[in-house]
Structure 1
Amino acid sequence: MDNVAGKFIMITGAARGIGLGLARTAAEKGANLILVDRDEEALETAKRACQEKTDDVKSVVMDITNVQEMRNSVDQVMMDTERIDVLINNAGIMQTKHFFEIEEKDWDRVLSVNLKGLFFLSQAVGKHMITRRQGSIIHVSSIASRFPRPLAMHYGASKAAVLSLTKSMAEFFGEYGVRVNAVCPGPMETEMLQAIGRDRASLFGGSAEKAILDYVGPIPLKRVGQPRDVAEAALFLASDHAAYITGQALNVCGGVQMV
């Protein structure tokens, strides 16, 4: 039996992309799910898909950048479930934009979702984990945290900051038996990758399809990753199999970065 079976797992950005892959995979492994997204319609579709695999699936429409709304939602979840064993901070946005064209609103939006929301949700859920002296928090960062991103500097900065938080939170939570780790996906077959292709085509010309091929060309495994690739790595870190692992960031990138 999988080590996440029976655990209550909260996943943000669960309506599509990597988040939906996380939700589907966790459902197959017998986890109890708390799916979070601000897109109510897409979230309900994701919920129905997961209910085909596991019985206990809750959906929470939440804007993680609205801190008070988010805290109220977490309190309600705790009243309903009494515990959250695993928090997977997956919600994130990406924007391809020239350095001199990034505006204040762009910076604020990317940092608000990718960093602020992640921090304050971890704070809200983490206090309950501390009480129980157990739990696992997984941040979905990005391979962009490891490399220069001249056409997405605000995105790269946000994801690098996520790794800093991972280390600091792991140190803080360690004495309470709560582990904090991260996964760093490379290019994945998601709507976000399609948006990157369109943005790069707009900047450099040519088709979005060619832009994506150029973008993923350096991958040694010569394929784009799938959301399930990230899900399996994240759920391993969330499981009891990883009981002595904390403060780590696992690349899931097809070998774009090697040890």
Structure 2
Amino acid sequence: MEGWPLDNLGGKFIMITGAARGIGLALARTAAGKGANLILVDRDEAALGEAKRECLKLTGYVKNVVMDITNVQELRETVDQVIADTERIDVLINNAGIMQTKPFLEVEEDDWDRVLSVNLKGLFFLSQAVGKHMITRGQGSIIHISSIAARFPRPLAMHYGASKAAVLSLTKSMADFFGEYGVRVNAVCPGPMETEMLQAIGRDRASLFGGSAEKAILDYVGPIPLQRVGQPQEVAEAALFLASDQAAYITGQALNVCGGVQMM
């Protein structure tokens, strides 16, 4: 198609939360490799510093933001400061999230509040703060990293699954709201990925059911048709496609990156 955009993330300002490790770090590295300008957000200042050093080998602009995304006032002030420094945020990737393996009857109020605060509250209010600036410019792309747990029963992580299912609901509602302003909103649903989170799941399941963490992980990923866990890079490529101009007519969608464990 004449005029079809090619590699179009170069020069864009991309904000990524939870950028210090796992999928967030893969997103940062991949976006840097495509020439994007990065705003990396995390609570871990030391790990974020290492992420910045890695990304500066690939791109010319990386700004680190040490922030607790559950603190709405801090979040709003930080976004305003970033906009003052960069003039715009073209892409927001809401990746920050926490997981807890805990049987339903043992989940405490603090467990619920902590998981929902990071996975849902922070995502909502950061999207609101960044989205206001995108509306002013009449363009932008917001990507939520949800989870395949949003689509299946999760009896050992009901509060986590609920938070990620709510993210999919927000994706549709936000896409409908932002559409008239030229801002797209989509989600990615990763399956089990080779991350620290998966290792923690293995340890938690082993402590509940016995055996080794390695066997617990194998049992956990057993139903996956491709017979392997995914790599964070695979999520990053999918998310950055949705963020790019190649996906200009895609909004309100949730893309599974899960090895086929959930199909159409």
Q: Same fold (TM over 0.5)?
A: yes
Structure 1 segment 130-145 matched on structure 2, within 5 A = 130-145=135-150
CA distance in 1, matches of 2:225, 2:9: 31
Partner in structure 1 of residue 57 of structure 2: 52
How far the C-alpha of 1:5 sits from its partner, in A, is 1.1
Partner in structure 2 of residue 127 of structure 1: 132
Partner in structure 2 of residue 214 of structure 1: 219
- Quick one: which amino acid aligns to residue 198 of structure 1? R
Partner in structure 2 of residue 191 of structure 1: 196
Partner in structure 1 of residue 242 of structure 2: 237
After TM superposition, the score normalised by the length of structure 2 is 0.97
Partner in structure 1 of residue 3 of structure 2: none
Gaps of 5+ in 2: 1-5
Runs of 4+ in 1 over 6 A off after TM superposition: none
CA distance in 1, matches of 2:48, 2:7: 25
CA distance in 2, matches of 1:3, 1:214: 40
Q: Percent same amino acid among aligned pairs?
A: 87
Listed one character per residue, the Cα deviations across residues 19-57 of structure 1 (whole Å, up to 9, x for unaligned) are 000000000011100000011011001110101100101
After TM superposition, the score normalised by the length of structure 1 is 0.99
Structure 1 segment 82-93 matched on structure 2, within 5 A = 82-93=87-98
Structure 1 segment 1-259 matched on structure 2, within 5 A = 2-259=7-264
CA distance in 2, matches of 1:218, 1:47: 37
Does the aligned pair in 2 maintain the 1:2–1:30 contact within 8 Å? Answer: no
CA distance in 2, matches of 1:199, 1:93: 14
* Aligned alpha-carbon RMSD (Å): 0.5
CA distance in 2, matches of 1:148, 1:192: 19
CA distance in 1, matches of 2:187, 2:10: 21
Gaps of 5+ in 1: none
CA distance in 1, matches of 2:9, 2:84: 21
CA distance in 1, matches of 2:50, 2:175: 34
- Quick one: which amino acid aligns to residue 214 of structure 1? D
